[in-house]
């Protein structure tokens, strides 16, 4: 049971100067949910220690022709303060403008997306009705994977996206997951992956998870293939405590998890970097309900609660979280929530919440309220070295051939005959032709459907060791006769293949 002293708003600070936080209210419902959150912060005494400075980003900036979606001043403010609190922002569809949300995370090195999914009182879900509590974290890598957005149209019919995964990136996110689990007292971490198909990219992610787990003997670990993980999450979400995932899989699982606890309106999100961190709502701009006082501010508020904990305002954060739990428990909710009683608007919800500060939920255990806030914040320091840029001098890499991607409508045997003539008198021989990753030459099935883009692999004839120069000469010869769509030298690393085999090879 908490004492009265533990539930009155905090006045304790060990920082005399206020912490400055960059604030971007966002688009659509962004401004109204941001106002609601600031109202609660004000009432909880947050503004005694924090000042918010508004920055320009989102639709307005895109409309002014800046494809970054944020002004130079906004970038400067975020780099100076180290913290951004942001509402949702729209992504221009087509036209080259990239998602500002993704740009922000990548530009400022906010590599870890941490989301907490928990059953909330007063929010009915199939699991709350079945008496199955949901309470787990998702740690999603934020920078790598297909989110590089590196895409090309290779032929009139074919497109390609690059999926980049690095060992330092895998180490950074897996280490973050283990460290966060340790700090939060979580004793089990699950790695979700598709290493059975993407043996090199997801394979590395899984290998690094297993390797780093050795440093955390008190944490139980398991790994699950992503499709099975999705099914398990829907059947038995209470089996999970923390799940670490690559970027795209993490994105999908996060929204699935939001559905388990009542929808996107409840899911908070923190994007943590070594220097700069971003706290935001998980949902989008909800244009269908914008400006109508219907939006649920809970996701943004809970993201703010994580932000307060990030700067050491753990007491104030707990008081706000308990007030939220009490408010929902007492039946006050916005229209998106399946609960009892008439829904209220965004403003009324925030006012009810502010008036409930100091109260604790009764049907579930509230958060423990620390006796004081221990406020701290280290301002970003411009990095002088890139710590992710490691070199593996001890790994020997040897070029052993190349994959050349071609636009092609010839049948595989005809194509092979032409290419074999081309590589006569070179150090290379044609070893395989694949179409959409499936081998179609030297053997293949007539039932394999072909598109007009294929990969031809040339490998060194036995015993020849060369640098990458000869592969480029071969490329030039092939390019005289065919439309080349992509080119990748292939290498052995310490005697192990650094390239995948074709399906059926
Ligand atoms: P959305 O999340 O905006 O809306 C999906 C549905 O959920 C809508 O019916 C909406 O009314 C409802 N909803 C969302 N948030 C709500 C809230 N707080 N309270 C009540 N209902 C809520 O997704 P969308 O429609 O696919 O995307 C709209 C725009 O938002 C797009 O431009 C998209 O790119 C952008 N977006 C931004 C972010 C972000 O800023 N982090 C995240 C996702 C989507």
| More confident call, 93 vs 217 | 217
Distance of CA 34 from the midpoint of ligand 1 (Å): 15
Question: How confident is residue 263, by pLDDT bands cut at 50, 70 and 90?
Answer: confident
- Cα-flanking dihedrals φ and ψ of residue 59, to 5°? -50, -45
Domains of the chain: 1-7+18-119+264-384 (3.40.718.10), 135-260 (3.40.718.10), 397-497 (3.30.70.1570)
pLDDT in tens, 390-410: 776 788 899 999 999 999 999
| Mean pLDDT confidence for 212-235 | 98
Distance of CA 264 from the midpoint of ligand 1 (Å): 8
Rounded percentage of the chain residues whose pLDDT exceeds 90? 77
Distance of CA 384 from the midpoint of ligand 1 (Å): 38
Helices 346-355, 314-329: crossing angle, 10 deg rounding: 120
**pLDDT of 505 higher than 50:** yes
Distance of CA 266 from the midpoint of ligand 1 (Å): 12
Residue with tokens 């280490």: 175
Residues with CB under 6 A from ligand 1: 29, 88-91, 101, 264-265, 280, 283-289, 295-296, 299, 336
pLDDT in tens, 328-364: 999 999 998 877 778 999 999 999 999 999 999 998 8
Q: Write down the pTM of the prediction.
A: 0.86
The pLDDT of residue 13 = 43
| More confident call, 122 vs 140 | 140
One DSSP character per residue, 418-462 reads HHHHHTTTSSEEEEEEEETTEEEESS--TTS---SEEEEEEEEPT
CB burial of residue 31 (10 Å; 0-12, 13-18, 19+): middle
pLDDT in tens, 249-261: 999 999 999 999 9
- Among 286, 280, 303, residue whose Cα is nearest residue 105: 280
| Mean pLDDT confidence for 487-497 | 95
Question: How confident is residue 6, by pLDDT bands cut at 50, 70 and 90?
Answer: very low
Residue 21, strand partner residues = 52
The pLDDT of residue 110 = 95
Which atom of ligand 1 is least distant from the CA of 336?
20
């Amino acid at each position: 049971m908490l004492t009265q002293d533990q539930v009155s708003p905090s006045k304790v600070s060990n920082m005399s100067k206020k912490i400055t936080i960059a604030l971007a209210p966002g688009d659509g419902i962004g401004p109204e949910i941001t106002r609601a959150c600031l109202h609660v912060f004000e009432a909880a005494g947050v503004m005694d220690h924090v000042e918010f400075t508004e920055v320009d980003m989102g639709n307005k900036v895109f409309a002014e022709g800046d494809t970054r979606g944020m002004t130079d001043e906004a970038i400067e403010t975020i780099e100076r303060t180290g913290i951004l609190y942001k509402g949702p922002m729209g992504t221009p569809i087509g036209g080259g403008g990239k998602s500002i949300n993704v740009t922000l995370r990548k530009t400022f090195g906010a590599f870890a997306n941490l989301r907490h999914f928990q059953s909330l009182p007063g929010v009915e879900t199939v699991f709350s009705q079945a008496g199955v509590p949901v309470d787990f974290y998702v740690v999603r890598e934020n920078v790598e994977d297909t989110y590089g957005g590196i895409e090309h149209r290779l032929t009139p019919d074919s497109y390609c996206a690059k999926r980049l995964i690095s060992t330092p990136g895998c180490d950074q996110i897996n280490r973050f997951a283990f460290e966060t689990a340790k700090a939060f007292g979580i004793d089990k971490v699950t790695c979700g992956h598709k290493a059975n198909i993407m043996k090199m990219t997801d394979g590395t992610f899984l290998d690094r998870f297993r390797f780093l787990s050795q440093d955390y003997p008190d944490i139980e670990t398991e790994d699950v293939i992503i499709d099975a993980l999705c099914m398990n999450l829907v059947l038995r979400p209470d089996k999970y405590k923390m799940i670490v995932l690559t970027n795209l899989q993490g994105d999908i699982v996060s929204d699935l998890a939001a559905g388990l606890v009542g929808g996107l309106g409840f899911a908070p999100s923190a994007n943590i970097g070594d220097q700069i961190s971003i706290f935001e709502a998980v949902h989008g701009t909800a244009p269908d309900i914008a400006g109508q006082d219907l939006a649920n501010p809970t996701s943004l508020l809970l993201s703010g609660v994580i932000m307060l904990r990030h700067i050491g305002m753990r007491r104030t954060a707990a008081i706000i979280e308990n007030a939220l739990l009490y408010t929902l428990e007492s039946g006050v909710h916005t229209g998106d929530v399946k609960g009892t009683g008439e829904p209220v608007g965004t403003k009324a919800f925030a006012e009810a919440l502010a008036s409930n500060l100091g109260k604790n939920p009764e049907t579930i255990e509230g958060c423990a309220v620390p006796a004081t806030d221990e406020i701290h914040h280290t301002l970003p320091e411009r990095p002088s070295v890139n710590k992710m840029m490691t070199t593996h001098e001890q790994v020997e890499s040897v070029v052993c051939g190349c994959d050349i991607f071609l636009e092609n409508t010839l049948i595989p045997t005809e194509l092979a005959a032409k290419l074999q003539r081309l590589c006569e008198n070179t150090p290379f021989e044609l070893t395989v032709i694949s179409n959409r990753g499936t081998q179609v030459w030297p053997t293949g099935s007539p039932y394999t459907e072909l598109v007009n883009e294929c990969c031809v692999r040339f490998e060194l004839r036995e015993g020849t060791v060369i640098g990458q120069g000869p592969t480029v000469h071969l490329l030039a010869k092939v390019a005289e006769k065919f439309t080349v769509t992509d080119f990748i030298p292939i290498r052995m690393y310490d005697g192990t293949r650094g390239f995948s085999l074709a399906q059926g090879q």
